[in-house]
Structure 1
Amino acid sequence: MIPSAPRGQSADSAAIRFERGGGTLDVVDTVERRRYSLSLMAATASSPARASSFRFPVDEAIAVETGTISLPSVIAVYVRDDDGRMLAEVGQFAEESFSDGSYSLELCAPMKLYVRIDGPFEIEADASRMTIALPEPARVAIGARSKHDRPAATITTTDDPEDVMAAISAFGSALKTTSPERSYPTLRGHPPTLERGSELSIPEGLSAPETGISIEVPPTLGHAYVVAPLAYYLGAGVEPGDDAWIHTESGFSHPLGSGDAFEREVERVLKQTFFLDCVTRTEGLYPIDLHERRAIEEHVDLDFAALYDRSPADRLEAYLSVPYSDVEPHVPEWKLTSHVSTSPSSIEMLPFLVDDLAVIHTPDSGFVSSTGVETTAVEGFLRGPGDGTREAATATATPTGSYVEPTTTDSLEQSWVGSETPMGASKATPQAYHNRLAREGSSGDVSITVVCNDPEMIEERDLVDDVYGSREELPFEVTPHHDLTREELRAVLETDVDFLHYIGHIEPDGFECADGRLDARELDSIGVDAFLLNGCRSYDQGMALIDGGAIGGIVTLADVVNAGAVEIGSTLARLLNNGFPLRAALEVAKGENVIGEQYIVVGDGGMSVTQVDGGTPLLFDVRKTDNAFCLDMTAYTTSLEGIGSLIRPCIGEGVVHHLNSGTIHEFEMSLKELEEFLQQTTGAPIRVKDKLVWSGEVDLSAYF
């Protein structure tokens, strides 16, 4: 049986634009600021095409007559016949020919991209480019869909736990399928947003799908928060009860435990169900060779072909019959654990955490004094070259307040939801995510503003000037400023710009300017989307930018030593320029200097400034054994390539897919093979002997 395409409609019909220029067709996602260029040989003028002619939903579609479509990079291309049967997957160094017929090609670009061809064609790929060639010019249809996903509605709920549980029960309405393909991020829609009010109000049509699964938990906000991602993923209703259980309509029940065991068991069930869905889905729309299936198949007694066609409730029962210890070594490292205060003020953050499929913990953390926050920076100064800090000449006192240090987990990233200031985790606020939803579309260049407001810090400005906009395949507009007055900086902060890199003195009560301090809390609006405030104690001003309209940024909690700030700032610039999201970029960069622990992300840590080649940012670790070189890859998911996406390392013979979160399979190779592979990833971060270097700029033989 050929699986049917998932239900659901396009994300935003205004999000996609096609731009013609000579022999180039640029496909632009105006909301997510993503662009992909197709070269069309001997192409005629384009005309609108019917969206209904595509098997999968598209936002916009055009038709053009051409003989050749050239892609600027090698991406996965899935070829299906007119019945939807997948005929081939084409990747690097592949060459495939298809006889006369009707075909649908799915191109794994920064947006969902589809090509309809009626007639014979060939696909060829080398190490860096792909070509789709027709024997003679013919009409082809090209459709695209943004990966941007908006909540369908807003639910109003009181602070009563049972009302919150009823609201969470409607989260599953956003799932675009209840088949195992729900493990693909593009088939998990954004849950409806929540707002607090005087009574529960759920818009008509927002209800959990009929999965035959329900979850029973004690009626407390803590229990409701913890179970929200699992309820969403299972499409389950949440009901109050004396104990925590999962029930199915067939009579199966699974205990979720109590106390600390409750959070651990909910996390385990979420990870196990998601992981086994990823394996089972290889029997469906995308019958690919998955590394994780190879690894797990001999350890579990599951018939994945039969499971694919079972109901969600039956699949869940089968999945939970497998001891977690059998699958745990193969479950991908989770993207995010969020430590959520059980206060009612956390209610409005739930949909955004659920959209990330975050593991939610209620606080088990220690509170830290503001003096304790300064300790690491002072120690870094004493160990460093002693060239001073980025504190203003007339510094105000260190701000007082509650600092919290959440318990470390095994997720790649950590966030904190609560009124306190976190150490070792990002500070997530619902305002930042609402700012992102309100972001207006733009098809222009990626706009970056660099401000250096102290001539003694010009070293960092010079370093980042060489980084931003260095990717030839993407259009950038980089605007430098220096020694700004308060009015000049006000204009910069109020102007629409994708990213601001600020270098200079900052105090809790304002940015140090040539003629005094500018307090961002006094501005009418903020036009900056994302930012790095690389100065001492920039947390308060960063939060003011979020409150004024920004989406996310990186700030400091304490004084930072100038030499360390230069190293952190230049490293962050390179990572952000390569498409790393804010939170992932900081996780990598802060290991480069002791003062890295003084930096945190505020707002939406999943915000990316630029798109990344290949869809998923990768960090490479290289080490040498007695007989070979070992290459480890750490994959960091993004808001558009969430957990459950795939990557295909082109190493060795054959093409095997891997899930895209955390450490990927270890590869052994010779130095020549390693250098040839890294040549395909110019500018990518590589960790060699605890030092971060960059592909295309380093001679690995010098390290071994």
Structure 2
Amino acid sequence: MHDGDGDRGRVSITRTDSTIRVRDEIESATVDVVADRESSLVSATTALFPVPVDAAVRTTAKRLSIPQAYCTAAWDDRGEQVGGIHDESVSLPSGTYVLSLTGATMVYVRVEGTPVEYEYAFENERDRAATIEFPEPVSVVIGARSLHTRPEATVTIPDDAGALLDVLPYLASSIHECTSERTWPTIRGHPPELRVGEHLDVPFGLSKPETGVTISVPERFPDAYRIAPLSFYLGATVEAGDEAAIHLENGYTHPLGESGSELEASVADVLGRCFLLDTLVRTAGTVSHDPSAYGELAGELSFYPPNLYGESLSTQLVEYLEVSSEVVERHLPRWPLSAVVRPTSADAPLLPSILHRLGRVRVTDTPTSSTRDRPDAESVNGSGTRTGSPDRAIGNLDADPLVRAYSHGSDGPLLCPAAFENALSYAAPSPDAARLTFATDDPDRAAWFRDRFDRHERFRGPVSVLESPTVEEFERTLSEPAALFFCELPWSEGVLACADGSIDLRAVDGVDAGAIVLAGRDDALSEAARALVRAGALGVVGATDRSAAAVNSFASLLALSYPLVECARLSGLADRRSPRVIGHPLACPVSAGGSVKNYYRIDSVGLDEHEFRYVTSFPDDHRLGSVARTCDDRESSLSGIQQLLSDRVVLFGRTLRAPGTASTDELVDLLCPADPVLLNGRPLTIDRTVTAEDVRESARERLRHVSEPDTR
């Protein structure tokens, strides 16, 4: 733990009557621990807990109730896990225990020498509570750690690459513990905000981790950006040097690529292997679990991963860096984000948001490069596989990032700093409360919007349909809270037509919508979308298909808490290869709880032979390192698919492939209308029953396309 972590006031714990209030000062959120009696609070040492905590107090209680929280783990005095996330009730014999509870912040309860009864009552995501009870009043230690999903400080750098190198280690001050436990997202707090100003300014209280790892890199903005994800994850010291390399305190040196795409590929390789192997090592840690990759990968390693738990980072890295990429590549999770930035200080403010999601960073050659003319632009072959990209350096198709987004340009997903700032204050509504707004000049479409969404099976919130609205009606409604604002009014060059005039979307102010969809193509989409994001939106989607099926699928995925970019891609509403999502592509404007977000990918290798994959996605509240259970209880006549869908723990981002192939009829029997499905790269709209002819026609098209010679 970094020096001073407990001194920066991330968490405060106070008492009012019998309620112990845990306040996350970074998140401005509270968790109330309701005791059965009034008892004074006494400061306690944080060392009593097996995990990092920001503050701890001691009190006396016989019963504790924690609304809006659930138990993620329970440990005994040897650090062995004796309870887990899916336990609705746990009875523990007399002993010493620590219970971990997740709510608006992380809360930990420690007791000694007493039996423990734990119960979890769940009605819905908004109505849940955890209860801990003891046979008689006992001394209880309550600790807490901030969820730390937003910056706690602001670092300023001048327009100087050396200054950026100097502050990179401070961005890792948000990591609570520089061990393999940092693979858990709650251990990796949000890096400090980064601004460009006149002088270098690092706030008092931020400290550099001391991990014994140093990264040297040429003193240039492009190379500083490229190594930033690796330096952040490793908590490395960063120094200017002639060549990019990792230097360990034991004298071991690992060279990185020289520059450009070679350095990007090298960083992606090292970061990917360190992260994946850390998830195997952490199985010996505070939260015991058996990710699907463990049994598949551990046998191919020259070391036993749990034996490295507690070893120095240098010792671990020596082992990790000796593992070949070919061994790791089949098990690497899909990365959530690959960000393409300009080689200047202009994009430095985006860096903390990228690192918070452990995104990769690529750099264009010149400050004015667009996504169309970058020299390393990817191509797409006949099967839909992306080629020629450093993101594919590991060589694993399923490791392609969820989204490759740009800080500039006009023909791909775009990142806007304002969108990430908006997300910090956006309170995602549940599907029961989410407001949906639709604007159209077509009476038939207006009638369809009312009929479909007034009785939608996934939404229960208010629905507003603006039919040929006036300028005043449109602007007023746009400023009202809404999870989705879908607009298909005519527009051109950024100017939208209303019944009594026009609105320049580039000059709109006061937007209070999570997702905005603009239907139709317009060259000014990027400019208009950036303006809407600056005015308050999380993200803007450019819709190329506004069919009823695509709109319904998009809204359904939104209700299920899929990220915006996945809603656009899996619904068919936007281009599946490069969906136009501008702002925060991974934002989830609707909160449907913590269930795993997945879809099925089917690739035909014959007219009646199909490969089947289970793909997990990344809602923004389950960042890289989270785990999920594939609790799909449907029956399948195929043992491979049945095994794939059975109860198993997987990392978010993992793609699981069923052994062998499935026949067309077997797939039709398996799939449900509610399943998000990519069939040979094309989305099947939700709430549509898939027929055998659908599958065979798609297979014919794919096989015909693959067999055509490439004449480029």
TM (normalized to structure 1)?
0.75
The aligned counterpart of 2:83 is 88
Which residue of the other structure, out of 540, 544, 549, is the alignment partner of 2:531?
A: 544
CA shift for structure 1 position 172? 1.4
Which residue of the other structure, out of 638, 648, 658, is the alignment partner of 1:656?
A: 648
1:461 matched to 2:453? The reply is: no
CA shift for structure 1 position 105? 3.9
Which residue of the other structure, out of 386, 399, 416, is the alignment partner of 1:429?
A: 416
The aligned counterpart of 2:403 is 414
For structure 1, which segment, 345-354 or 618-627, has the greater mean C-alpha deviation from structure 2 after superposition?
618-627
The aligned counterpart of 1:313 is 314
Residues 517/296 of structure 1: CA separation in 2 closer, same or farther (3 Å cut): same
Alignment of 1:259-298 (within 5 A): 259=259, 260-298=261-299
Residue aligned with 1:225, SS: helix
Residues 431/613 of structure 1: CA separation in 2 closer, same or farther (3 Å cut): closer
Residues 106/460 of structure 1: CA separation in 2 closer, same or farther (3 Å cut): farther
For structure 1, which segment, 515-524 or 682-691, has the greater mean C-alpha deviation from structure 2 after superposition?
682-691
Contact 2:162 2:219 in 1 (8 A): yes
Residues 314/407 of structure 1: CA separation in 2 closer, same or farther (3 Å cut): closer
CA shift for structure 1 position 442? 8.8
For structure 1, which segment, 597-606 or 436-445, has the greater mean C-alpha deviation from structure 2 after superposition?
436-445
Q: Residue type of the partner of 2:517?
A: L
- Structure 1, unmatched stretches of 5+, are 19-26, 370-404
Which residue of the other structure, out of 637, 653, 661, is the alignment partner of 2:618?
A: 637
The aligned counterpart of 2:254 is 254
The aligned counterpart of 1:177 is 177
The aligned counterpart of 1:393 is none
Residues 320/615 of structure 1: CA separation in 2 closer, same or farther (3 Å cut): same
Residue aligned with 2:149, SS: coil
CA shift for structure 1 position 342? 1.2
The aligned counterpart of 2:638 is none
Cα distance between partner residues in 2 of 1:570 and 1:640: 24
The aligned counterpart of 1:616 is 596
CA shift for structure 1 position 677? 9.4
The aligned counterpart of 1:584 is 566
The aligned counterpart of 1:390 is none
CA shift for structure 1 position 131? 11
Residue aligned with 2:472, SS: helix
The aligned counterpart of 2:383 is none
* Deviations 1:682-704, CA, capped at 9 Å, x for gaps: 94424567552547x74889978
Q: Residue type of the partner of 2:350?
A: M
The aligned counterpart of 2:117 is 121
Residues 418/524 of structure 1: CA separation in 2 closer, same or farther (3 Å cut): closer
Cα distance between partner residues in 1 of 2:205 and 2:25: 29
Higher relative contact order (CA 8 A, sep 6+): 1
Residues 502/113 of structure 1: CA separation in 2 closer, same or farther (3 Å cut): farther
* Deviations 1:206-252, CA, capped at 9 Å, x for gaps: 23200011111111111001000100001012111111111112111
Residues 428/133 of structure 1: CA separation in 2 closer, same or farther (3 Å cut): closer
The aligned counterpart of 2:73 is 78
Q: Residue type of the partner of 1:346?
A: D
The aligned counterpart of 1:449 is 436
The aligned counterpart of 2:377 is none
Residues 662/49 of structure 1: CA separation in 2 closer, same or farther (3 Å cut): farther
The aligned counterpart of 2:153 is 153
Alignment of 1:674-693 (within 5 A): 683-687=674-678, 692-693=684-685
Cα distance between partner residues in 2 of 1:15 and 1:584: 39
Cα distance between partner residues in 1 of 2:662 and 2:120: 27
The aligned counterpart of 1:502 is 487
Contact 2:244 2:258 in 1 (8 A): yes
CA shift for structure 1 position 628? 11
Cα distance between partner residues in 1 of 2:414 and 2:115: 54
Residues 312/477 of structure 1: CA separation in 2 closer, same or farther (3 Å cut): farther
The aligned counterpart of 1:360 is 361
Cα distance between partner residues in 2 of 1:698 and 1:203: 57
* Deviations 1:656-701, CA, capped at 9 Å, x for gaps: 311110413537999999999988xx94424567552547x74889
Cα distance between partner residues in 2 of 1:599 and 1:134: 47
For structure 1, which segment, 127-136 or 349-358, has the greater mean C-alpha deviation from structure 2 after superposition?
127-136
Which residue of the other structure, out of 502, 507, 521, is the alignment partner of 1:522?
A: 507
For structure 1, which segment, 481-490 or 217-226, has the greater mean C-alpha deviation from structure 2 after superposition?
481-490
Residues 46/517 of structure 1: CA separation in 2 closer, same or farther (3 Å cut): farther
Contact 2:63 2:131 in 1 (8 A): no
Cα distance between partner residues in 1 of 2:251 and 2:7: 34
CA shift for structure 1 position 173? 1.1
Residues 348/123 of structure 1: CA separation in 2 closer, same or farther (3 Å cut): closer
1:574 matched to 2:559? The reply is: no
Alignment of 1:597-608 (within 5 A): 599-608=579-588
CA shift for structure 1 position 427? 0.4
Residues 48/360 of structure 1: CA separation in 2 closer, same or farther (3 Å cut): farther
Cα distance between partner residues in 1 of 2:513 and 2:98: 40
Residue aligned with 1:99, SS: strand
Cα distance between partner residues in 1 of 2:42 and 2:466: 47
* Deviations 1:564-584, CA, capped at 9 Å, x for gaps: xx4433221111111001122
Alignment of 1:124-143 (within 5 A): none
Q: Residue type of the partner of 2:648?
A: V
Report how many aligned residue pairs link the two structures: 640
Q: Residue type of the partner of 2:83?
A: A
TM (normalized to structure 2)?
0.75
For structure 1, which segment, 683-692 or 165-174, has the greater mean C-alpha deviation from structure 2 after superposition?
683-692
Alignment of 1:202-217 (within 5 A): 202-217=202-217
CA shift for structure 1 position 28? 13
Cα distance between partner residues in 2 of 1:71 and 1:532: 32
Alignment of 1:484-499 (within 5 A): 484-499=469-484
Q: Residue type of the partner of 1:328?
A: E
CA shift for structure 1 position 325? 1.7
Residue aligned with 1:633, SS: strand
Residues 527/461 of structure 1: CA separation in 2 closer, same or farther (3 Å cut): same
Contact 1:90 1:96 in 2 (8 A): no
Cα distance between partner residues in 2 of 1:673 and 1:294: 28
The aligned counterpart of 1:374 is none
Q: Residue type of the partner of 1:267?
A: A
CA shift for structure 1 position 620? 2.6
Percent of paired sites with the same residue: 25
Q: Residue type of the partner of 2:684?
A: L
CA shift for structure 1 position 71? 10
Contact 2:68 2:103 in 1 (8 A): no
Residue aligned with 2:335, SS: coil
Residue aligned with 2:631, SS: coil
CA shift for structure 1 position 530? 3.0
Residue aligned with 1:641, SS: coil
Residues 280/321 of structure 1: CA separation in 2 closer, same or farther (3 Å cut): same
Q: Residue type of the partner of 1:203?
A: P
CA shift for structure 1 position 642? 0.4
* Deviations 1:417-457, CA, capped at 9 Å, x for gaps: 3432133xx10022222233355799997442312231253
**RMSD across aligned C-alpha pairs, in angstroms?**
5.2
CA shift for structure 1 position 199? 1.9
Residue aligned with 1:186, SS: coil
The aligned counterpart of 2:707 is none
Residue aligned with 1:451, SS: strand
Cα distance between partner residues in 2 of 1:137 and 1:678: 49
Cα distance between partner residues in 2 of 1:348 and 1:234: 21
* Deviations 1:304-348, CA, capped at 9 Å, x for gaps: 233111111221122112122221211112111111121321121
Cα distance between partner residues in 1 of 2:467 and 2:23: 32
Residue aligned with 2:435, SS: strand
